[in-house]
Every structure is written in C-alpha cells, then in structure tokens.
Structure 1
C-alpha cells in the first residue's frame, strides 16, 4: 500500500507529542512493507536557514518526508501563530502555490491521510476518487477556544475560520480518526460528519522506554546532577496547556522545598529555574530523565486529545499523579494506574507515594501493563493499517 500523509507542520525529527504520533504511525507502516510519503509544510525555528528551500529526508527505505517551504507558508503561519492559533491557512497556501510534487504523490497513492483539518479542502480537490482520511488529533475548535489569544485584534476572525475549516474537513472526509472515544462523541455532537469515525489512540514505544531498577535510578540521578534528592518529573512542549501546568508546578514546589521538580522539554523556555524547579529546555532524549525520576506529574487543566506524556510516564514504570484532564481519553483507572487528584491535593499525593512502597510498586506495575497491552505503537499501527485497507476496498 502506498500512503500519502499530509501535515501542516514539520514532523521529522519529532519534537513534540503531535510530531511523535505522526512519525510513529508512519514508521510502523513502513516497517510492515508499506510505502509512506509524508508531505509536511513549513519550517521550525531550529531548522531555519537562509535562503529558504524545501528538502527531502529519507527516514528509511519505505518512508520519506518532503518538507515544503515557502515564504507564503511562513507568513501565514506567523499570522495565525501570533494569536495562538494553528496554521489554519496551510491549505490556502497550497491552493495558491500548487506544488507539483504534492499532486504527483497524492495521485500515486492508494490512500491519503491529512493530519488536522487545515489542508483537507485543497487535498480533496486534487485527490479525485482516492479515499481521504482526516486525523483529528484534537477537537481543534474546542482546543482553540482555550488557547486563542483574545487580545489579538483578529482572534475572533481566526476562530470563525477555524470552525468553518474544521466543519468542511469533517464533511469531506471519507473517514475520520480521533484519539479517544471521548473525542469521538464530541465531534459527532458538534459537527456534521460524512465518513465513519475511528478511534486510534496515542501510543508509546515500549521497547525504547522501560522501567529501571533502584540502582539504575540512582546512577541516572548522579549523572544528571540530582544527587540523592527525590525527583518529580513533568515533560512537555511549549503548548499553552503545558505552560499553564508549569505554573501549578511552581506553586507545588514552594510547598515541598526538599523535592526537586524537573521540567523537561521546550515548555521550560518560557520560565526561569527556581531553587527547587529545574527547567531543562529541549532535550534530545527524554529517557534519562524518566530514569532519574521518582514520580511523574501531569497537572494539566486544559487541552484536547490525549497526553502522550502519560503513556511515556507509565511505560517507564513511574507512579503518576494527574488531574482528571491529564488522563482524558485514556483507560486509566484512578488508584489502579495512577493517582487522580485536584491540584490542591498533589503535594499530599507525592508524600503518600514516597512513603508507601506497596502503592508505588502497584502503580508502577499496573501502569506498565496498561501501556504494553493497550498503547504499544506496534499494536496501534496495525489497527490504523486495518482501517486504511478497509477504505481501499470500499
């Protein structure tokens, strides 16, 4: 099967949860003998070079990313990003520029995936009778309501455009993929949808992330300079819900001065380290920090979709304290796979976990078992391929 996947942002190398989902599923498909051509649009800050030019990355024999770069794409992304909105006009840019490589690869494919709603109108206009799947990693307009910067004069215009584009995409799609049953119910209530809605959850590579022994944890702490301190870990990109979560972590840290709170990822670029709060900024490899942590935390109170960080925490065998929002869409049972608490109860939950060996062991084993059985990318990748095959046959 030849799959053409289209994304409104650069994917490889993955630098966040959204990138990881796209890359992991494409990788699974290519490793099973399918051909994947990923057309991604735009450029990330760390990739910015002049003169601007598009480029190709051969990820493996069957998986290629073509990064389409143009000044118009950058200008459109800056316009929307300045208001805290996603690249709503990525498809409009394609309609103006009409890159020949995209048309050629779409018409060569057996099935087309479009990540997020923003490019669907244009893709449908060139896809002919090919089946087009829209991947809703979030209920986009619900998320935008939470993250949009209302102080920007044109923010309401962007919100209305987002609603129109999401509705158009979902009505045009031959099938829709969401990350949870919760999101499936939400989009069916909020939008008119033509195609069937499938749940393909987020996942984790359980062969790369795994629990460590107590001596291994101590060695990682020493290597990272954490000494013998108890470590509470939060990971995240610069996504607004993550920035909001860090503000809660800073408050928790004041209540537990002997605990080191480590915030790993680009969300730290928005903050300055405190006495017992360390912001690492972007890290190439999260596994050393997972290995050094005693507890993982997810105090998010907004957002949409599901949190990949939760799956990474549990794959590492870490006991987790999370809000209800942090586990939305996941099959996490309170007290079985994680402790679910209100923000005001997090500090006492940390103390409970650190003092109760049996609870710590139970949460660790149950969380790891859950991701092995339900959220392993290998199993999830097979489910997505089944859906794509069904669409081809229909």
Structure 2
C-alpha cells in the first residue's frame, strides 16, 4: 500500500455523528487503499473518546488539542497580516512539525486535505500529488453570514469571506484536484475561480442506510401520544442556530395555534445560549447531546430543515429521508440534494408555506390521507438507497489521487 497524508480540521467521528460523517467515511474509505497518516484537531473534550476507534484506521496519527475560545482570540491576529482568520484559527506549530517529519520519514507522495484551512499544512509539499476536499465553499458561507449580521460583525465576516476566497483560489490553482459536496457547490466555485475550472469536481455525501433504517427497533424518546417535530444538528453551529430561532419565531407559533399539543424538539450537541433559551418557550424542547438521534427521527411526525444559510448538502435531510420520516425543507436546505419536492420531501419557501406544509402532513396522519406522509417517507428512503451510497460516491477519490 502507498502512504497517504490526510489532513482533517476536526477529528472524524464514527458514523452516528452527523456533523462529521463525510470526513469519517472518507477516512474509512482511504484506509482500505492506503497507509493513512492522519493529522487532525480535537476541539471538544468529549471527542477524545473516539481516538482509539480512529487510530485503528491509521498507520500513524497526530491529534492536536484545541481550545476554541483561545483559537478565536489568536485568529484575530490575522487582521494585522491581511490574511484569513480561518488559517490562523487552525495554525499549530506542533502539527506542522509532525506533518514535516511524517512526510520525510515515509516518503509521502499523496496528500488529501479536508477543508480549506488545513491546506496550509500541505502547501510546502509541491512534489506530492495533492487533492483538496473543500466540501463547501466556505468563503461564500462567510459572505452569507455578513449579510445576516449587523455592524461590526458584518465587516469582520465580509473581510473573512474576501480573504478566505483568495486562499481558496490559491489552493485550487496549486493543487491537482479540488472537490466539493455537490454539483451546485462545484459550479459556484468554478464561477469564483474560473482559472481552475478544469480541476474542479464533486462527490456527494452518502448515508449508511443500514444504520439509518426505520426497520430497527428503538424505544420512543417522546411521551405517549406526543406529536413531535424534530430538528437535528450541531447546535453551536450558527446556521443551525439561526434556523431554529427563525422556526420558533415565525413558524412554530402558527402551528401551535392549530395543534396546541405539538412539540418541537431541537436535538443536537453543544446548544448555544441562544438555543438553550428557546427551550423556555412553551412546546419547545432542547435535548443537548443524545446517545442516538435515530429514535428522535423515527418517531417524529415530521422532520424540519428550515435553514436560511446553507452550503453543500445537509446530512440532516438525507438522514431523515433514510429513516422514511417526511421532511419539510427550505430551498437552502434542499440545495445539492436530488430529491423531488412533493413526492420525496416537501419544499417550503417562507414561514406561512412552511407551517402549511407541516400542517398538511400532520392532518394527514390518522385520517383518510394517512398515507401521504408515509408515501413521501418511503419514496425518500428509496431515493437515498439508490443515489446516496458512500461506496459509490467515494470512488472518485482514488481517481483524483492517482490520475497523472
């Protein structure tokens, strides 16, 4: 087997952790074809429990401890140097030394970078074949943040969007291939970096449909007779925070007026103070970290993905589809997912439409229209089984790493 250096910005989780599922399956796939030398950061104390599992997949590994608050403070120094804050956030001398020593000791000629900020560690090794999985166009995400924020944060986010795009274009120009999570994401970057368009491609996320299966037996996390809507995701991630705040402000009150017994469950790790405060509202439940999200998805009446800021493919949508739970999505949450609105999921563009869509699915349950939501769920699972297999979607990685 050839040696390969893999650089990932946050430790890849085992497959039940949705916010890092792409990097985990990438590592697992590469370990079948290469001797993988992994360098990554650990920014959550709870994540150290996954080290033994991840280490088993690697020939060698380096895990750098990160304090997110200290990293944010450190990153502000980039403002004085006219460079991206993201690069300084993930800058670590110990990791750079480990990468240098590992490349030299193993004669590494293949490098895969996951996320733009980690490319700084591969930049010196121009003799190697280097591939970057940008996943999303992160610079455009910062641009969207700037549009949503007020002074002075909008200026900071606009600065980061500009600086990070400049670095993304440099990486795309210098590396052998640049990959993204979806065709729309790849096309957006081609427009932003036309000089590298011939080297830009994509591979979609996948879903382990054996793991995310509605046929498994779970105890319901909901009270008997309770009808629940569910949102899943890392709840310190601002697009998720913004989504649930908007849903609680603009959509849920409309639904509660029609269904007083309805509950909205926000399920995900590290809920921010803003999310925790939503749990004080009538009918809203904030769970924090749960051992398994699947029961929450399976027994929910409807899964919702009301994102207003999004890039790439939303795992939360694919996982709900795989569990055959009807899901209502915003246009932003649908981007990059090849699903047919009305038959494999439901699309809603504003608050009244979102409430009406959820309402129709709720009213259909237990009535003469009872099979409407079930039919959507079954069609959604069939779509995921056909089109979102990790094994088939990851096939292009080897081609990118070996093509001369």
1:9 deviation in Å?
A: 3.0
1:110 deviation in Å?
A: 4.2
Match of 2:344 in 1: 337
Q: Provide the TM-score with structure 1 as the length reference.
A: 0.84
Match of 1:123 in 2: 122
Residues 98 and 28 of structure 1: is their aligned pair in 2 closer, same or farther, counting only changes over 3 Å? closer
Match of 1:209 among 208, 212, 215: 212
> What are the within-5 Å matches in structure 2 for residues 212-231 of structure 1?
212=215, 220-221=219-220, 224-231=221-228
Contact 1:171–1:194 (8 Å) recurs in 2: no
User: Which consecutive residues of structure 2, in runs of 5 or more, have no partner in the other structure?
Assistant: 79-83
Asked if 1:25 corresponds to 2:33, the answer is no
1 CA distance for matches of 2:188 and 2:142? 15
Cα distance per residue 1:355-388 (max 9 Å; x no partner): 1323222211111111111112232233323433
Cα distance per residue 1:225-283 (max 9 Å; x no partner): 42211111111112211111101221322222321111100364333312211111122
Contact 1:295–1:320 (8 Å) recurs in 2: yes
Match of 1:178 in 2: 180
Q: Which moved more, 1:171-180 or 1:55-64?
A: 55-64
Match of 1:358 among 362, 371, 386: 371
2 CA distance for matches of 1:151 and 1:235? 30
Cα distance per residue 1:261-318 (max 9 Å; x no partner): 1110036433331221111112232112122212111111112111111110011011
1 CA distance for matches of 2:316 and 2:399? 26
Cα distance per residue 1:132-163 (max 9 Å; x no partner): 11111111111011225652475554343323
1:46 deviation in Å?
A: 4.2
2 CA distance for matches of 1:306 and 1:190? 19
2 CA distance for matches of 1:128 and 1:260? 54
SS in 1 for 2:112: strand
How many residues align structurally? 373
Cα distance per residue 1:155-176 (max 9 Å; x no partner): 5543433232222112112100
SS in 2 for 1:136: strand
Q: Provide the TM-score with structure 2 as the length reference.
A: 0.82
> What are the within-5 Å matches in structure 2 for residues 1-394 of structure 1?
1-12=2-13, 17-30=18-31, 32-41=32-41, 43-44=43-44, 46=46, 57=52, 59=54, 61-63=56-58, 65-69=61-65, 75-80=70-75, 87-90=86-89, 93-94=91-92, 99-107=96-104, 108=106, 109-125=108-124, 127-148=125-146, 150-152=151-153, 154-191=156-193, 192-193=195-196, 196-212=199-215, 220-221=219-220, 224-237=221-234, 238-251=236-249, 252-255=251-254, 256=256, 257-266=260-269, 268-269=271-272, 270-272=275-277, 273=279, 274-342=281-349, 343-354=351-362, 355=364, 356-390=369-403, 394=404
Contact 2:301–2:326 (8 Å) recurs in 1: yes
Q: Which moved more, 1:243-252 or 1:5-14?
A: 5-14
Contact 2:85–2:160 (8 Å) recurs in 1: no
Cα distance per residue 1:152-211 (max 9 Å; x no partner): 475554343323222211211210010111011111111132762121111211111111
For the aligned residues, what is the CA RMSD?
Answer: 3.0
SS in 1 for 2:219: helix
Residues 338 and 90 of structure 1: is their aligned pair in 2 closer, same or farther, counting only changes over 3 Å? same
Contact 1:264–1:282 (8 Å) recurs in 2: yes
Contact 1:232–1:293 (8 Å) recurs in 2: yes
Residues 139 and 295 of structure 1: is their aligned pair in 2 closer, same or farther, counting only changes over 3 Å? same
SS in 1 for 2:54: strand
Q: Which moved more, 1:60-69 or 1:187-196?
A: 60-69
1:28 deviation in Å?
A: 2.6
1:97 deviation in Å?
A: 5.1
Residues 295 and 18 of structure 1: is their aligned pair in 2 closer, same or farther, counting only changes over 3 Å? closer
1:70 deviation in Å?
A: 6.9
Contact 2:142–2:158 (8 Å) recurs in 1: no
Match of 1:51 in 2: none
